[in-house]
Amino acid sequence: MSQDTTIQALNLDIVQQQNFVRFFRGLPEKAASTVRLFNRSDYYTLHDDDAKLAADFTSKIVNYMGETPKLSYLCINKHQMEMFVRELLLVRQYRVEVYVKSSGKSNDWQLEYKGSPGNLTQFEQILFENASINSSNSVMGIKPGKNKTLAVSNINTTDLTFEVCEFTDNECFSELEALLAQIGPKECIIPSGDNLELNTLKTVLDRNGVLVAHVKKSDFNADDIIQDLNRLLFFQMGQEKNATMFSETNLPDAMGALQAVIKFLNLTGSETNFNQYRLKKVDAQRFVRIDNAALYALNVLPKPSLNSEGAPVFTQTPKTHNLLGILNYCVTPQGRRLLEQWIKQPLKDHNLINERLDIVGCFVKDSETRILITKDALTKIPDLMMLSKKLSGKKAKLQDCYRLYQAIGYLPTLINILRKLNNNCVKDVFINPLGEFAMDMEKYQIMIETMIDLDLVDRCEFLIKSNIDSDINELQKSKQSIEEKMHKLLRKAANDLNLEEGKSVKLECNPQHGYFFRITKKEEQALRQAKQYKIIDTVAGGVRFNTEKLVMLNEEYSAINEKYEELQKGMVDEILKVAAGYADTVRSINIILASLDVLSSFATAAVSAKVPYVRPVLKPIEERVLELKKVRHPCLEQQDHLDFIPNDAHFNQNSKTFYIITGPNMCGKSTYIKSIGVCVLMAHIGCWVPCEYAELSLVDGILARVGADDCQLKGLSTFMLEMIEISTIITTATKNSLVIVDELGRGTSTYDGCGIAWAIAEHLATYVKCFSLFATHFHKITKLADTCPTVGNLHVSAVTSKDAITPLYQVKEGECDKSYGIHCAKIAEFPSDVLDWASKNLSALEHQEDLKFIKDFEIPIKKKIIEEGDEIIKESIKDFKAQIANGLNEIELEQLLNEMKNKLKESENLFIKGVIE
Ligand SMILES: Nc1ncnc2c1ncn2[C@@H]1O[C@H](COP(=O)(O)OP(=O)(O)OP(=O)(O)O)[C@@H](O)[C@H]1O
């Protein structure tokens, strides 16, 4: 007997299976991080490695189809598919493709949906129908040019913006890294090809946790960009659709990069994207420079971990593990998205920061108003950005119009609550603009009240009022009259069957059968004896049946209802058209309410901390001061059972600008320097800070590099990664930056590590002169303070006993006692003769090592300073080389040397000065 090889669930016989296997094996190859799903109406299937991946996620078992070599498959239902796709796109950062069978041809499948972490538009319904969008999605396009020029575009599909810029970067791509941190794209496209420049670019993107996709070089061609922009950009009603009026279109390479992303996202493929996007230039200079290395080093954002292929994975981390979690008391998704944006874009503008601080202050003082806003008013506001998007994308329903009506209706109450704060900033930032926008929306509110039947809304029915139109009114009356007749029939059926009307026998309606009666299976017997009743079917919920009369009434009802719905639809379309005209105003209201949510969230965070935060006093950038009293780490101090020991920080351009922090392991060095970095960042986003008192001048950058094992991405060696990060700091730090360095040089031998750390510390302390914190285990570096007046030594204190080191977490002046190493060895029960030998020889060894160290590193350090330290020196050497290349006689050479000597005298480099003089 032949075995039945039909797959019942999929209704596939062996021939159909073979056909599919052939089709599947003919599909173009894909990356392992792309998952293909095949939509088979009731189920979805996955095959090969994708089946394995889904099997792990759903705990289902993989099966096989076709003939040898068989193809593995996993069958999942719609709910499982939704969960899996959510996991793939939002957590694992994979790409997803969904194929459907083309109608007609039995074995042809076509790609129906495509999604990637940066492009979720086609999956929005699956991903966000029942969940809010808490994080913006964007895809970046980068077109590299000659001499490190980069043209960048970014499309944010949540905020509906196109951002573009062109700039020249340095060897380390540090400008690009800062931009990646500010914008935070999930995915980036670059031209395909194999050259050094593209490979370096890919490495930079990988290091920043951005998924990279390669597209054809020709996709970066801007030939059709104006035509595409005319369709996609937002123009006011009646405004000429002419994208050339935007100055951004004069950046040809950036337009090429934009064209490539538009194509990648297939934005012109759906009308819902038309008239939606805003075009703007990226203005990176407005923000404090901070790159992803620093954001993760300071625990500002949740850190991605890596999957088996080295791709970043974003898993849920406890709220108290990062600054975003600590500050997030937002109650709206738009507030949550804005908070993340603000954290990535710390401001440099004194007035704007002070405005935010002022508003936070109002909410801190008036807790009653703050609670009213966060616990009540804002919770009534839906995601207005999404509503605006639906309205202008012609995807809205009458229900959406009603939700908007409700939200706008709440604005006057909100404004009244805000008035209680009696503050000018609150008035300018919230009350006045909200008042004006509420007035702009007045006609919309009247339209909704006039047109929608508000009495039906409680029953979740969204319909046009019948009295608006005489035809609708007539049809509505006819429908009601038929419904009454149907209810009479129900009463009769209840009598005939001796059942209770509305309880054991019910009148119900569904799209398949229209109106019918239903009884439970238990009562079926009664029905079999009454012949006038015809059973339709038996389902889990009971037995469905009707009568000839009910069938007739049903048909009559359907015909009338069809006309009624047609008329309704015509009117609904009219309303939606008018409502679409308000999309821009709704978007503006959304931005204001999101800011309100974030600022009240800052205030809630300030008062919810174990010790309340204080308002930082901002000083102009040129004053160069950083004075923090009793500074705490906002995340660490929230940990249960941890009694945080606060410390002070004093920087002043006229005294110490560079602090070296030493001390035993686990005694609080990293925590101390990170606390200072996070506090400075918090102040720049307009948040109050975890200190007793804080006074600081604004900085132009927060540059950080912390312990190697903390921030390793994409398989780079510890040493490589720290060298990349530190060279970024060296090239970008100015005297107005804050630099935080922890355990530099740990990735190489102690000897080399110490040399590198020394050279960099000296460079920062002597030439850049920025405020720096340098935590290290290399005690020799503390000697820098002997020769450098701007360098100060600090140490974290601890108490040692016979068998323990107890950290006190107090930061004190001076370097730390060096005997901790031997003490640790004692606690670790090293043999006593080894310990005795080590103690006796410690000072002698150190003396010898010092001599060797100074001898070995004197030259390299100075060489490093020449190579990296000073623009003047670099320029002079470059000029000199160029002139020599032209060929010079003896006199010209001497003249050139004198010129160079004079130029070099302007240098602040002590070594060079010494050599010349
Ligand atoms: N100021 C503090 N108050 C209370 N506990 C602290 C403080 N600072 C640090 N700790 C605790 O000590 C732990 C270790 O701190 P940290 O990582 O800053 O030490 P470290 O000196 O940098 O260590 P290592 O030299 O090994 O890198 C923290 O996780 C925290 O639990």
pLDDT of residue 713: 42
746 touches ligand 1 (CB under 6 Å):
no
645 touches ligand 1 (CB under 6 Å):
yes
Task: Look at residue 365 and tell me whether its pLDDT is greater than 80.
Answer: yes
820 touches ligand 1 (CB under 6 Å):
no
Task: Look at residue 825 and tell me whether its pLDDT is greater than 60.
Answer: no
Q: Residue 695, SS3?
A: strand
Nearest Cα neighbor of 594 from 330, 416, 782 is: 330
Reported in sequence order, the residue ranges of 720-868 that DSSP labels E, i.e. its strands, are 737-742, 771-775, 791-801, 804-813
Q: Which of 645, 666, 809 to mutate to test the pocket of ligand 1 (most atoms within 8 A of CB)?
A: 666
Distance between CA atoms of 642 and 332, rounded to whole angstroms? 31
Tell whether the torsion through CA atoms of 638, 640, 646 and 649 is positive or negative: negative
pLDDT of residue 102: 78
Task: Tell me the average pLDDT across 724-751.
Answer: 78
Query: Is beta strand 791-801 parallel, antiparallel or unpaired with respect to 771-775?
Result: unpaired
* Interval between CA 669 and ligand 1 midpoint (Å): 6
pLDDT of residue 854: 44
Q: From atom 15 of ligand 1, which residue's Cα is the shortest distance away?
A: 668
* Interval between CA 323 and ligand 1 midpoint (Å): 17
pLDDT-derived band at 873 (thresholds 50, 70, 90) equals low
Complex prediction ipTM: 0.98
Task: Look at residue 140 and tell me whether its pLDDT is greater than 60.
Answer: yes
**Whether 178 contacts 208, CB under 8 Å:** no
463 touches ligand 1 (CB under 6 Å):
no
* Interval between CA 300 and ligand 1 midpoint (Å): 17
708 touches ligand 1 (CB under 6 Å):
no
* Interval between CA 667 and ligand 1 midpoint (Å): 5
Counting atoms of ligand 1 from 1, which one is nearest the CA of 775? 22
pLDDT of residue 853: 47
Task: Look at residue 901 and tell me whether its pLDDT is greater than 50.
Answer: yes
Q: Which helix (H) or strand (E) holds 251?
A: none
Q: State the average pLDDT for the chain.
A: 84
718-732 and 750-763 helices cross at what angle (nearest 10)?
10
User: Phi/psi at 321 (nearest 5 deg)?
Assistant: -85, -10
Considering only residues 37 and 40, tell me which one the structure prediction assigns the higher pLDDT. 37
Q: How many CB atoms sit inside 10 A of residue 647's CB?
A: 21
Counting atoms of ligand 1 from 1, which one is nearest the CA of 647? 1
> Distance of alpha carbon 121 from its chain centroid, rounded?
16
Lowest mean pLDDT among 81-90, 606-615, 864-873: 864-873
Task: Look at residue 130 and tell me whether its pLDDT is greater than 70.
Answer: no
Q: Which of 299, 631, 636 to mutate to test the pocket of ligand 1 (most atoms within 8 A of CB)?
A: 636
Q: From atom 10 of ligand 1, which residue's Cα is the shortest distance away?
A: 668
Task: Look at residue 128 and tell me whether its pLDDT is greater than 80.
Answer: no
**Whether 139 contacts 265, CB under 8 Å:** yes
Cis peptide before 664 (omega within 30 of 0): no
pLDDT-derived band at 239 (thresholds 50, 70, 90) equals confident
669 touches ligand 1 (CB under 6 Å):
yes
pLDDT-derived band at 167 (thresholds 50, 70, 90) equals very high
Q: What is the pLDDT of residues 598-607, one digit of tens each?
A: 999 999 999 9
User: Phi/psi at 349 (nearest 5 deg)?
Assistant: -90, 115
Task: Look at residue 399 and tell me whether its pLDDT is greater than 80.
Answer: yes
Q: Which of 671, 706, 779, 824 to mutate to test the pocket of ligand 1 (most atoms within 8 A of CB)?
A: 671
299 touches ligand 1 (CB under 6 Å):
no
Instruction: Count how many residues are written for the chain.
Output: 917
Q: At 825, which amino acid appears? A: A
Counting atoms of ligand 1 from 1, which one is nearest the CA of 707? 27
Contacts of 90 (CB under 8 A, 6+ apart): 117, 127, 314
Nearest Cα neighbor of 783 from 842, 735, 853, 723 is: 853
Lowest mean pLDDT among 297-311, 345-359, 380-394, 780-794: 297-311
Task: Look at residue 329 and tell me whether its pLDDT is greater than 70.
Answer: yes
Task: Look at residue 865 and tell me whether its pLDDT is greater than 60.
Answer: no
809 touches ligand 1 (CB under 6 Å):
yes
User: Phi/psi at 18 (nearest 5 deg)?
Assistant: -60, -40
Q: What is the pLDDT of residues 628-676, one digit of tens each?
A: 999 999 999 998 888 999 999 999 888 899 999 998 888 899 999 999 9
Lowest mean pLDDT among 113-117, 124-128, 495-499, 521-525: 124-128
**Whether 405 contacts 413, CB under 8 Å:** no
**Whether 183 contacts 345, CB under 8 Å:** no
Counting atoms of ligand 1 from 1, which one is nearest the CA of 633? 1
pLDDT-derived band at 111 (thresholds 50, 70, 90) equals confident
Chain position carrying tokens 């004896």: 529
Q: From atom 14 of ligand 1, which residue's Cα is the shortest distance away?
A: 666
Q: From atom 18 of ligand 1, which residue's Cα is the shortest distance away?
A: 668
* Interval between CA 629 and ligand 1 midpoint (Å): 19
Task: Tell me the average pLDDT across 479-496.
Answer: 94
Distance between CA atoms of 52 and 795, rounded to whole angstroms? 53
795 touches ligand 1 (CB under 6 Å):
no
Distance between CA atoms of 381 and 71, rounded to whole angstroms? 50
Q: What is the pLDDT of residues 745-772, one digit of tens each?
A: 665 555 566 777 788 888 889 889 999 9
pLDDT of residue 710: 42
Q: What is the pLDDT of residues 546-591, one digit of tens each?
A: 999 999 999 999 999 999 989 988 999 999 999 999 999 999 999 9
Q: From atom 6 of ligand 1, which residue's Cα is the shortest distance away?
A: 668
With pLDDT > 90 as the criterion, what percentage of the chain qualifies? 49
Task: Tell me the average pLDDT across 505-525.
Answer: 88
778 touches ligand 1 (CB under 6 Å):
no
Span between the terminal Cα atoms of the chain, in Å: 103
Q: What is the dihedral of CA 296, 301, 302, 306, to 10 degrees?
A: -40
- DSSP 8-class letter at 771: E
Distance between CA atoms of 574 and 20, rounded to whole angstroms? 46
Nearest Cα neighbor of 27 from 135, 4, 866, 35 is: 35
Considering only residues 499 and 394, tell me which one the structure prediction assigns the higher pLDDT. 499
* Interval between CA 320 and ligand 1 midpoint (Å): 16
* Interval between CA 808 and ligand 1 midpoint (Å): 10
Distance between CA atoms of 354 and 396, rounded to whole angstroms? 39
Distance between CA atoms of 618 and 627, rounded to whole angstroms? 11
Q: From atom 1 of ligand 1, which residue's Cα is the shortest distance away?
A: 645
pLDDT of residue 752: 60
Q: What is the pLDDT of residues 201-213, one digit of tens each?
A: 888 898 888 888 8
* Interval between CA 708 and ligand 1 midpoint (Å): 16
Counting atoms of ligand 1 from 1, which one is nearest the CA of 663? 21
Counting atoms of ligand 1 from 1, which one is nearest the CA of 777? 25
* Interval between CA 633 and ligand 1 midpoint (Å): 11
Nearest Cα neighbor of 516 from 490, 497, 496 is: 490
Tell whether the torsion through CA atoms of 240, 274, 342 and 423 is positive or negative: positive
* Interval between CA 757 and ligand 1 midpoint (Å): 21
750 touches ligand 1 (CB under 6 Å):
no
pLDDT-derived band at 345 (thresholds 50, 70, 90) equals very high
Maximum mean pLDDT: which of 7-16, 236-245, 843-852:
236-245
392 touches ligand 1 (CB under 6 Å):
no
pTM confidence score: 0.78
> Distance of alpha carbon 483 from its chain centroid, rounded?
52
37-54 as b/e: b if 16+ CB within 10 A: bbbbeebbbbbbebbebb
pLDDT-derived band at 846 (thresholds 50, 70, 90) equals low
405 touches ligand 1 (CB under 6 Å):
no
Counting atoms of ligand 1 from 1, which one is nearest the CA of 674? 18
Distance between CA atoms of 357 and 505, rounded to whole angstroms? 64
**Whether 725 contacts 746, CB under 8 Å:** no
670 touches ligand 1 (CB under 6 Å):
yes
**Whether 704 contacts 740, CB under 8 Å:** yes
Lowest mean pLDDT among 335-344, 474-483, 810-819: 810-819
pLDDT-derived band at 506 (thresholds 50, 70, 90) equals very high
Counting atoms of ligand 1 from 1, which one is nearest the CA of 796? 21
